[in-house]
Amino acid sequence: MSRDELFIAYMEAFEASTTHVGACTACQDDQPCRAGAPVHAEFIARQDAWNERVRTGRKRP
């Protein structure tokens, strides 16, 4: 996956997660519902992948 694709996937996962939280009182209370849990897990996984790419990218500028 290219750096751009990784970032786009991260942003899409972020948007899906925040959109869900905006409409779900359970997730707003830090009690992820069945529908929200995988959405938030995907966002965290994408965020980790992106942060890892940024971190390793900085090693050799």
Q: Is 27 in the site for Zn ion (CB under 5 A)?
A: yes
Three-state SS sequence of 1-61: CCHHHHHHHHHHHHHHHHHHHHHCHHHHCCCCCCCHHHHHHHHHHHHHHHHHHHHHHHHCC
Q: Is 33 in the site for Zn ion (CB under 5 A)?
A: yes
Instruction: Return the range that interacts with Zn ion (CB under 5 A); candidates 11-19, 22-30, 44-52, 53-61.
Output: 22-30
Nearest approach in angstroms of CB 31 to Zn ion is 8
**Residues found near Zn ion in the complex (CB under 5 A):** 24, 26-27, 33, 36
